[in-house]
A = this chain, B = another copy of it.
Amino acid sequence: MVTSEADGVRRRRGGGAEARRARRQGGGAVQLPPIRRRLANYEVLDEEGLALIERNADIVLEEIGIEFREDPESLALWREAGATVVGTRVRFPRGLCRSLLATAPPEFVQHARNAERSVRIGGDATVFAPVYGPPFVRDLDRGRRYGTIEDFRNFVKLAYMAPAIHHSGGTVCEPVDIPVNKRHLDMVFSHVRYSDKPFMGSVTHPERAADSVAMAEIVFGRDFVAENCVMISLINANSPMVFDGTMLGALKTYARAGQGTIVTPFILAGAMSPVTVAGTLAQVLAEVLAGAALTQLCRPGAPVVFGCFASSISMQSGAPTFGTPEPALVSYGAAQLARRLRLPFRTGGALCAAKTADAQAAYESANTLTGTVLAGTNFVLHAAGWLEGGLVSGYEKFVLDCDQLAMQQRFCEGVDLSANGQALDAIREVGPGSHYLGCAHTQANFETAFYRSTVADNNSFEQWLAEGEKTAEERGNALFKKWLAEYEAPPLDQAVEEELLDFIARRKASMPDAFA
């Protein structure tokens, strides 16, 4: 599994014909840099609408307030900052949260242990990270089952192999075969050992957040971590208008360590927010303002991302639905609100309610993914692998989504208006009634002319029949296995690996196993 440093360098450079071949195969060595969007962001609200929603968010913060539960220290911080605290309810003078957020960086770098994989979060950058959080995994061979640490490692490896996945993510699935109070150690280790892309830390307990920081210090060095963002972590609001002690503990730990947080109202509209887009946006903005401002009370300048997870519920059953129009409008609007706050933005991904990688999964995922990208989202969690409302990490779904991510990356490059892009000589050469298949311009641009899908079948019906009438899901099954078979781990300094394993062993020995 371990390869020589020289191999690693050669693989990373990625030039020449071999690299192009690998790029076409859509997995493995050649990696795409984070997206720099050259196209406009799509916007659904005008100045008047945005000002209205901001005013309503201010009313929520001032009149209704936000609960900071199970964490007296947060309440003390808010009291000191000038907020009104009654019980666990915090009410904010007009403008307090915004003024606190003036110290938050509009964009920042999250460092990877391989410097070539470091990502900028904010501005015109878009970073794709895998699905986060599912307790189950699914593939065509074994169906749906609880995730294990082996599945976890597999998804880390697939994310490492995928050219358009820029980030290793966090809980790519829950490794339920490891005690709940210890699995964060194995998860962080797996991200470091099996990938060299940036990763996320644990948020399930303040101590586990501290463990994540300690492990990052082993990888990057204590001094480096003190001054640089090497981890980003997901802090969900318990909407409506509540932050709980677990999340607040993790938020404080990461913010004080100068590490990134993504403050995200987790919204199933109709349950956690009003059934309307504008109402949901006002609540989301209020929650983010309060949660993100707290990071600046912990450490001014700590990187923080405006997060928004937007879905809606079925009004018949209460079940979450995905890929529908209203959450798309919420995401577009939230991205605009984030830009006005000068904060990086996170939303979306390739979300779906479908149980398997069928047409429903793809319609819903494409709808959410396109909205995510056109909104100008900076950090895209759940960009690949998400099934069944986030309950399942799907192996086939993962590689199908990766193909879509690479297409989105190409789309974001926009229109080439160079002389070669204009192709006037080609039109002159070919002329009326002929074709461009063999012309000089086509030959010169053959390798890069069009995006080449890794999973789409564009062959004739007869060939498709002869090959067994495979669905996209069945082709995805073959592709994820190919990626896992071809996977080679990136090099890792042996002393770092040993120190990590030693840290993990000591921490595990200090605790009894817990499974709930």
Contact = CB atoms under 8 A, between A and B. Distances in A.
Interface of A: 39-40, 42-45, 48-49, 52-53, 56, 59-60, 63-67, 69, 89, 144, 238, 240-242, 269-280, 282-283, 312-321, 323-326, 328-329, 333, 353-367, 370, 374, 388-389, 391, 400, 403-404, 407-408, 410-411, 414-417, 420-424, 426-428, 430-437, 441-442, 445-446, 449-453, 455-461, 464, 469, 471-473, 476
17 contacts: A42-B42, A64-B431, A241-B433, A271-B435, A272-B435, A273-B436, A274-B427, A274-B442, A276-B422, A278-B422, A278-B423, A316-B452, A324-B450, A329-B414, A359-B472, A363-B363, A364-B456
Contacts of A442: 270, 274-275
A382 to B, nearest CB: 16
A144 B462 CA distance: 11
A400 B279 CA distance: 30
A388 B436 contact: no
B362 A416 contact: no
Contacts of A434: 240
A375 B290 CA distance: 37
Given A314-B452, A359-B471, 4 more contacts: A44-B414, A45-B415, A144-B461, A317-B459
Contacts of A421: 276-279
User: Could you say how many copies of this chain the assembly holds?
Assistant: 2
B275 A321 contact: no
B321 A456 contact: yes
A274 B452 contact: no
Contacts of A389: 458
A424 B59 contact: yes
Nearest to A431: B64
A448 to B, nearest CB: 9
A318 B437 contact: yes
Contacts of A422: 52-53, 56, 276, 278-279, 282
Contact of A276 (B367, B423, B428): B423
Which 5 A-B residue pairs are closest in the complex by CB-CB distance? Answer: A279-B423, A362-B362, A366-B366, A274-B423, A241-B432
A315 B449 contact: yes
B52 A44 contact: no
Contact of A361 (B48, B280, B359, B364): B359
Contacts of A362: 358-363, 366
Contacts of A436: 240, 270-275
Contacts of A416: 276-278
Contacts of A320: 458
A278 B389 CA distance: 40
A426 B59 CA distance: 13
Contacts of A283: 427
A455 B472 CA distance: 20
Contacts of A437: 270-271, 318
A491 B389 CA distance: 44
Contacts of A364: 456
A275 B44 contact: no
A456 B314 CA distance: 11
